[in-house]
Amino acid sequence: MSDVYLYGMITPSIVHILHHDFDFPKANGYAEIGETLISVGGEAANSAVILAKLGLSVKLDGNWLNRRRADHVFGLLNPFGIDLSRLNLVDSGGTDEFVIADRISRTVFGNYATFHCGPRQWNEPQPNDIQAAKIVCVDPYFHDESRRVAELCVELGKPYVTLDCECDDYIARNAAAIVISHELRDRVYLAQDQRKVFERYLNSCQGLVIFTFGQEPLWYGRRGHVLRQHQPYVIEPVDTTGAGDAFRGAIAYGLLQGYADEETVDFASAVAANVCLSYPHALGAPGLEAILAFIAERRTA
């Protein structure tokens, strides 16, 4: 049994954090590297780390790992007690990335386009993993296999949380909650009225719909209800890498705890803020007690 089953991206990562006097440079420019850290990227991996830090039992599944970088991933994830038994190792292929982060942005260089255009490099989901979980997080990037996770959740009566699917996608329509970032909106709905796009999601999706806008107020709502807004916590970020992934994981936590939508969104915003105050990715973020203390302190202030 596990509280959460996560299916999606897991990537060995190197994070270069720029010196605080520098921003990400323009072409032919220069910036000083302040610190370099090994890390683990990928939406599923970051969500798994934050959910484990919040005290839940977590099982992680998804893409295959290149054998030469597997120790990198296992060494960083094992201390959190995450069940990694589904992860498969291969001699070639897999994903890889390095990230350059300043105070307000993170720029990712990787091999994801090649990874997604080639032969399948990810596991087929197993029904018993979904049956054994209380809630599921699914990344939409693995084509038929991602959809199969969503179908199994519907068949088995398991709620799931996803991110960055188009509004008419099966995964989006049947999710208990979906988080849509500016990356998806810029790629698919850039020239469209964003409020009308939000309404399309509300009409298509049966669960909680959330649009994030970085430091600007996010939008959330459900079918038949009006758009609501929530102001993210105002902070001085250290590294924003992994904040959106952690936010998605925290939404799943809120649903599992039975929080109201407003409380769920506020809690997830606090988790994302604390990820931005730490590094690399979600690895340095605090646990549940510190998150609750952060919320209480900000409410008092």
- Residue-level pLDDT at 239: 82
The domain containing residue 121 runs over which residues?
A: 2-9+44-64+115-300
In a domain, 121, yes or no: yes
Instruction: Give percent of the chain with pLDDT exceeding 70.
Output: 100
In a domain, 87, yes or no: no
Q: Report the number of distinct structural domains present in the chain.
A: 1
Residue 110 pairs with which residues in a beta bridge? 97
In a domain, 137, yes or no: yes
Mean pLDDT over 184-204 rounds to 95
* Better pLDDT: 226 or 195: 195
- Residue-level pLDDT at 283: 93
Tokens of 74: 């296992």
In a domain, 255, yes or no: yes
Tell me which residue of 62, 37, 36, 35 sits closest to 47, measured CA to CA. 62
pLDDT tens figures, 73-131: 999 999 999 999 999 999 999 999 999 988 788 899 999 999 988 899 999 999 999 99
In a domain, 222, yes or no: yes
Tell me the CATH number at 160: 3.40.1190.20
- Residue-level pLDDT at 1: 82
Cα-Cα-Cα-Cα torsion 241, 247, 253, 254, nearest 10 degrees, comes to 160
pLDDT tens figures, 217-270: 999 999 999 899 999 999 998 888 899 999 999 999 999 999 999 999 999 999
In a domain, 52, yes or no: yes
Question: Which residue type occupies 215?
Answer: Q
In a domain, 106, yes or no: no
pTM of the model: 0.94
In a domain, 91, yes or no: no
- Residue-level pLDDT at 112: 92
